Amino acid sequence: MRVSVVIPALNEAGNIGRLVTETYAVVPAEMLGEVIVVDDGSNDGTPDEIKALIQAGNLPGLRYLRHGARSGQSTAMRTGILAAVHPVIATMDGDGQNDPRDIPKLLARLAAPGTAGPALVGGIRTNRQAEGSKRIASRAANWIRDAVLKDNCPDTGCGIKVYWREAFLRLPFFTSIHRYLPALFQTYGHDVAYEPVNDRARVAGVSKYSNLVRALVGLYDLFGVTWLRYRTRVPSIVADLPEGRQVSDLASRMKARGEPPRKSGQD
């Protein structure tokens, strides 16, 4: 399965070039369709690191996109995913904290697009490297989110994930959606799975998020996602004529899981 790797980056000089080079070194070439770095308006050496790699010309499929103004991590991911040419996306943080060696393991769990099985496989960091206060804040946020959304995900903020491109693009988009992907994939009728992944310390630069801002924005988003979850219906398509055409993938997956069709008009 060929994959488009999408890496959002904001001021990741000292990290981003190394991460891209490492990705080409450790992900098998037959799996690695392209690597898209989305620069969210960095004002450090981030563009120079990537442009130098592109000019060197020995990393096939390396692409660089840059926003005219800072628009946020989720928006940068969406820019890369819209530009991607392969049906499967792998995302990683641009600071090198995720380990590209985990991409093949996550891909091995992912179902082929349109077939039964997980449409998203998320990494779960088992050896968190963040400082104590961030780990505690992250644990609290995950606990609250799981209690409300029941997405059964112990580490939704982990940046390394693989998923179907089309399924992502069909989700209603909002800033910070990247922290709610498991819950939203489930809401839209997809199976999700998780795999333990490696977490590494930041080598250069600083974190872009403070605990307080992340907590406040996270709470606000949690209300929105909860509302969306309760107000979303995923119908099973039980007729699709003329006969011989395939019923929609989603309907066949629901059928395979033995789910009864929802009553029409039920809300």
Residues forming the site for Mg ion (CB under 5 A)? 95, 97
Q: Cβ closer to ligand GDP: 12 or 49? A: 12
Rounded Cα distance, 103 and 5, in Å: 9
- Residue 9 beta carbon to ligand GDP: minimum distance, rounded to whole angstroms: 5
- Residue 129 beta carbon to ligand GDP: minimum distance, rounded to whole angstroms: 9
Q: Cβ closer to Mg ion: 69 or 206? A: 206
**Quick check: 97 and 16 in contact, CB under 8 A?**
no
Amino acid occupying residue 241: L
Burial status of residue 248 (CB atoms within 10 A of its CB: 0-12, 13-18, 19 or more)? middle
Q: Which residues make up the interface to ligand GDP (CB under 6 A)?
A: 8-10, 12, 40, 70, 72-73, 76, 93-95, 97, 159, 207-209
Q: Cβ closer to ligand GDP: 87 or 154? A: 154
Name 102's Cβ contacts closer than 8 Å, sequence gap at least 6. Answer: 123, 160, 195, 197, 198
Q: Which does 189 bind (CB under 5 to 8 A by kind): Mg ion, ligand GDP, none?
A: none
Single out the residue of 4, 70, 5, 8 nearest to residue 38, CA to CA.
Answer: 8
- Residue 202 beta carbon to Mg ion: minimum distance, rounded to whole angstroms: 6
Q: Cβ closer to ligand GDP: 93 or 102? A: 93
Rounded Cα distance, 37 and 6, in Å: 6
